[in-house]
Structure 1
Amino acid sequence: MKKTKAALWEFLQGLGKTFMLPVALLAFCGIMLGVGSSLSSPAVLQNLSFLDNEPLQLAFTWMSNTGLVAFKFLPVLFAMAIPLGLAREDKGVAAFSGFVGFASMNLAVNFFLTTRGVDFEDKGEIAHYGIADVLGVKSIDTGLLGAVAVGVIVALLHKRYRTKQMPDALAFFGGLRFVPIVSALAMSIVGLFVPLVWPTLGSWIASVGTGIAHAGVFGPFFFGMGEVLLRPIGLHHILVALFRFTDAGGAGVVCGENVSGALNLFYAQLSCPTPSGAAHTATQFLSQGKMAAYLGGLPGAALAMYHCAKRTMRPEIKALLVSGVVACVVGGVTEPLEFLFLFIAPWLYLIHAVLVGLGFLVSAVLGVYIGNTDGNIIDLLVFGVLQGTTTKWYLIPVIAAIWFAVYYFLFRWAITRFDLKTPGREDEPSDSPDSPASGAADVVVDADAPKAELVAGKYDPVAILEALGGPANIHALDNCITRLRMTVGDAALLDDARLKKLGAIAVVRLDEHNVQVVIGPQVQSVKDALAKLTPVG
């Protein structure tokens, strides 16, 4: 039972992590689309007439068209990214098979509908099945859920058949070549069942969206709070994707096209001159709700931690807090600050989650209209300021200032009242900084192993690997946007104190074998360096 639970947990962690690749592309494409559409809009050209010339307008139109790539092909991007992220080896074959599986499923759906005599022009049939053009094929738009199903099935097929041996006469089709073949066959069969189950499943999802819509501004409140509460265990990506790309985040017609999902609605509206109420409502689940905490609240908490630190320790923690604030304000990455108080005072993190939810609620009540994904200063400028005063971007600095004050005084009171050991307030260790944590084994890396260079001038991968229990303790190694995700032989071998001395922000033990080490924005480089030193690399 424990093994099954651990395996399921690891799978969900890995699945959430795979969403990051297409979401990162979405963030970039959103900026391209936002800048291009805003600087070519009639309202902006009327005020900034120097932009109204053919070369510049062609450049802005090109930017808008480039930004549409993620929006137009989002499901197939997820169908490829999921097996790519879940595969341990031969990732390219896994991604290729994801595309093959996605195309095969939609061709099978088209075959079923055509055989049943479904009229692709009949509005009743279109509404019942959710018919749309998918990769140029008349199929059913299953959106994110269909893409996730394809990605997961293909990932399992890749794991099972990657080394498949065939009889001599068919040996050419064995091994890696068999993975896209079996993916095409399997997803063609799945595609025959999609028209039978999707109308019911789609209506259930639509009901969820309707229920959230009836909750009014409390829908965004619970969404924002839920995202923060799920963040420590890495499952927030799944909740976020549900609202961004399915009916749970809203649905409507934009420029004559049926669109579902908060982020999809927002991106569709950027390239459409006709306003849509559904798109305006959808931003309640997007960047605007995060900005109160990201641009104001968490920087206020960081300042409070700085002022509460021992004076002799302030110069030492200043760089840590400043880098966390920069990551939060500029990059929309909050973990480097949140993990400084999450494990010290979980109740304070709960209050933080409520305040983030209130940020979503207040933005919704005030009618702020700023979309995209990150909630950082770039989103405020591109999707707020550049889009004009109709976005009510000018309210965000006011809200952020209020949240800054609330967080600052709340954190300063909590730290001093309960003597919380935030950075710079820790007791001096009784042993040396390099001594192992209590109960940890005395493990060292092979002395003959090559010395690795510091990563980003700060992280020593050899020392980090030693603090992780040595190469033999690492059974699987991956990363998300800020964290190393590992399956280890024994989590008790990790030396938390030394990992923090080596630059880690926090160590999260999910169970005796699954752990996460919060590094920050440089985690990809650290993971790559560690992979070269371990057998799993």
Structure 2
Amino acid sequence: MSTFKKIFAKIGQIGTTLMFPIAVLPVAAILLRIGADIPTDTAFSNLMQQIITQAGGVIFDNLYLLFAVGLAFGFTKERRGEAAFAGLVAMFIVAALVPILSGVIYQDVNFGAIKEISKTGYQDKETKEILEKIDPRFINDYTEIPLPVKGFKELFGGKYNAVLGGNILTAIIVGAFVAWIYNKFNDVELPKVLGFFSGRRLIPAMAIVFAVIFSFAYSIIFPWVAYVIWQLSISLSRATQPGAEMTAGVRFTRASIMGVYGFLNRLLIPFGLHHITNNIFWFQLGEFTTENGETINGDIHIFLSGKAKDNPGGLFQAGFFPMMMFGLPALVGAFVFTAENKEQKRRVIALFGSAALVSFISGITEPIEFAFLYASPFLYLIHAILTGIFAFITGVFGIQLGFGFSAGFMDFAISITKSLAIIKETGFTGITKVMANPFWIIPIGLLTGAAYFFIGTFLIKQLNLNTPGRGEGKIKEDTTTHENKEIISQSKDVMSPKAQKIVKAFGGWDNIVDYANCATRLRYKVKDGSKVNQEALKSAGAFGVIKISDNLFHAIFGVEAEILNNEIVKNINKEI
């Protein structure tokens, strides 16, 4: 395998490992939404509001720790707890040392007198009081006075430690390095005098040493990376800040960003790399202040935790609702409409009807997308373009909606109250108020669905595409429903026929090296890729199969991927 393919495969594996920390976000998001709607006019209701809000908020406040643990655990060959523990220890050390070392290294760097710096860099109370004594103008509007800024500590102000130490990008790097340490040294035997630290017990000790050395090198490089991210966050905050009166420039800028992001997001999905851009937009870029004065970053966290007044959150999430709730389900309708005969139409409905419903309700789209990705990459490109177009339209309307899991109906329903609160408390008026109403998602979605159906139908017929129910895309066996039931009804000690077919299609037990899954895919590494039978996998119910490299394959099974993988792992080496 070439070096490029190895790197590409490793980057793609991030999607699998991120499922561990991301899995807690939907529940945390629901808690934050419920907590935000609880009145605080009595002592009891105030207590309940704090309990529920804090229970959800602590997850988002410590996401970097969850990501470090998830990456360290998920990247190891054996999914061992020692790696997760070592990842947590290493992240604690790096988060503590990098701000200290960066402060020493760059304390004399002069950023000059920057007018806008004080807007985000001087929010702590002590600094503000000092500035007010120096110049009375600070009492009324201290944010508008250019100030000389020296060092990253002054630049980032009260959020210095969070920016340089407790961030998700650092957590991903630390977690990946700790996983590498575990995979490389977990079976090392030391001399008897140090025998206690042999094997897996050596990993936490090595993680500590690594974290200290890494912190020195990282403190030289990362502050400048953080500076770029910080500048992007400031730019996005200015460009997307709603305000009571939204200019045409702001409206077009935010819509363009959402449109381009939506387009790129869909293009990266076949390679499993969409998680990278998602993490940047959803957890890193942008900044806002909560009710208690805490600065938070990332579109998801800002929408859920930020106060409603002037909240810019939800801009990089709202644009996905039309495509996920209406567009792709309508494309399934096009598959049914263009199927060759009544029997194929029935089989398409049986196989993809549930996928369309899942896309509408929960926003899981891969089972549909991979059904036509390889039959027609051009149709998939049109899908990405349509996603970008309707995301842009949603941005033009100024709709703000968030999600904890994905852009399905459940998150849409939960987010409506916060979206309406942003409109009311920010003071939207006139056409801005009318257009920002989240219920516009429904007519925009219906238009999206119509575009997907008619454009999809036209392209399928004109290009004679082998989409489900046509040509090579004909569904040969209508067994998926039967096999799904067998998974549930079979004894725990017996593999279902579907799981057995999957193992055989991957070349059997002897050919499978690593068993992994994400929310919708089985991600299996094999010894000999030529033994993998992609048609057999599709016959077993896979919506599509991706060959990442000669030895790494992704089989898309939708929401049952984890259940199938758990069943297969539990029965490793049993006779099939």
TM bucket (normalised to shorter chain) is 0.7 to 0.9
1:250 partnered with 2:280? no
Alignment partners' CA distance in 2, 1:339 and 1:139: 38
CA contact (8 A) 1:472 1:534 kept: no
Distance 1:415 1:285, change over 3 A: same
CA shift for structure 1 position 523? 0.4
Does residue 379 of structure 1 match 2:404?
A: no
The aligned residue for residue 349 of structure 1 is 380
Deviations 1:295-345 (A, max 9, x none): 111111111211222212222221222211122112211011111111111
Separation in 2 of the partners of 1:466 and 1:329?
33
Moved more, 398-407 or 314-323: 314-323
Cα distance change, pair 502–34 in 1 and its aligned pair in 2 (3 A): same
Matched, 1:261 2:298: yes
CA distance in 2, matches of 1:6, 1:126: 37
| Counterpart secondary structure, 2:470 | coil
Which residue of structure 2 aligns with residue 5 of structure 1? 4
Q: Quick check: 335-344 or 158-167, which moved more?
A: 158-167
Q: Which residue of 1 aligns with 2:459?
A: 414
Distance (Å, rounded) in 1 between the aligned partners of 2:519 and 2:473: 32
Q: 1:119-130 residue pairs with structure 2 within 5 A?
A: 127-128=153-154, 130=156
**Matched residues in 2 for 1:258 and 1:512: separation?**
45
Matching residue within 359, 370, 376 for 1:328: 359
What SS does structure 2 have at the residue aligned with 1:312?
helix
Contact 2:72 2:84 in 1 (8 A): yes
Structure 1 residue 520 displacement after superposition: 0.8
Name the CA distance, whole Å, in 1 between partners of 2:185 and 2:158: 33
Structure 2 counterpart of 1:293: 323
Distance 2:523 2:366 in 1: 14
Quick one: structure 1 residues 98 and 132, their matched pair in 2 at CA, closer, same or farther if it must change by over 3 Å?
A: farther
The answer (yes or no) to whether the contact 2:324–2:408 under 8 Å persists in 1 is yes
How far, CA to CA, are the matches of 2:493 and 2:101 in structure 1?
60
1:181 partnered with 2:173: no
Matches within 5 A, 1:158-169: 158-169=182-193
Out of 94, 98, 101, which is 2:83 matched to?
94
Aligned-pair CA distance for 1:237: 0.5
Q: How many residues align?
A: 494
Instruction: Say if 1:380 and 1:325 are closer, same or farther in 2 by CA, change over 3 A.
Output: same
Tell me, in whole angstroms, the C-alpha distance in 1 between the residues paired with 2:105 and 2:502. 60
CA distance in 1, matches of 2:92, 2:101: 14
Percent of aligned pairs with the same residue?
26
Q: Is the 8 A contact 2:523 2:555 kept in 1?
A: yes
Asked if 1:401 corresponds to 2:446, the answer is yes
The one-character-per-residue Cα deviations of 1:40-93 (angstroms, maximum 9, x if unpaired) are 38xxxxxxxxxx777666545432221112111111111111011101125211
- Residues 276-287 of structure 1 mapped to structure 2, 5 A cutoff: 276=310, 279-280=311-312, 282-286=313-317
CA drift at 1:376: 0.7
Deviates more, 1:288-297 or 1:213-222: 213-222
Give the direction of change, closer, same or farther, for the CA distance of 1:316–1:37 in structure 2 (3 Å limit): same
Does 1:488 find its partner at 2:548? no
- Contact (CA 8 Å) 1:129, 1:199: kept in 2 or not? no
Secondary structure of 1:479's partner? coil
Q: Any conservation in 2 of the 1:83–1:91 contact (CA below 8 Å)?
A: no
Inter-CA distance 243–115: structure 2 relative to 1 (3 Å threshold): closer
Distance 1:427 1:107, change over 3 A: closer
1:428-447 equivalence runs, <5 A: none
Would the aligned equivalents of 2:467 and 2:473 in 1 still touch at CA under 8 Å?
Answer: no
Contact 2:18–2:70 (Cα < 8 Å) also in 1: yes
Verify the 8 A CA contact 1:132 1:139 in the aligned structure 2.
Answer: no
Name the CA distance, whole Å, in 2 between partners of 1:199 and 1:467: 48
1:38-187 matches, cutoff 5 A: 38-40=37-39, 58-89=47-78, 91-109=80-98, 112=101, 127-128=153-154, 130=156, 140-187=164-211
Q: Can you give the 5+ residue segments of structure 2 that lack an aligned partner in the other structure?
A: 109-123, 129-148, 240-252, 424-435, 479-491
Structure 2 counterpart SS, 1:453: coil
CA contact (8 A) 2:314 2:402 kept: yes
* Amino acid across the alignment from 1:14: Q
Query: Which residue of the partner structure matches residue 22 of structure 2?
Result: 23
- 1:512 Cα deviation from its structure 2 partner: 2.1
Mapped contact 1:21–1:81 kept (Cα < 8 A)? yes
More moved, 346-355 vs 526-535 = 526-535
> SS at 1:487's partner residue?
strand
CA distance in 2, matches of 1:228, 1:81: 24
Mean CA deviation greater in 294-303 or 13-22: 13-22
Q: How big is the shift at 1:480?
A: 1.1
| 3-state SS in 2 of match to 1:522 | helix
Paired AA for residue 86 in structure 1: F
1:129 deviates by: 6.1
Q: Deviations over 1:90-141 (max 9, x none)?
A: 521111111100111133236547878979966856654646579xx88834
Distance 2:63 2:409 in 1: 25
After TM superposition, list the pairs within 5 Å mapping 1:198-213 onto structure 2.
Answer: 198-209=222-233
Q: Is the 8 A contact 1:17 1:237 kept in 2?
A: no
Q: CA deviation at 1:159?
A: 1.5
Q: Which residue of 2 aligns with 1:501?
A: 539
Contact 1:295/1:400, CA 8 A, preserved across alignment: yes
SS at match of 2:465: coil
Counterpart contact for 1:87–1:155, Cα < 8 Å? yes
Deviation at 1:510, TM superposition (A): 2.2
Q: Does the 8 Å CA contact 1:36/1:60 hold for their aligned counterparts?
A: yes
Distance 2:555 2:159 in 1: 43
RMSD, aligned α-carbons: 3.1
Long gaps (5+) in structure 1: 42-51, 435-449
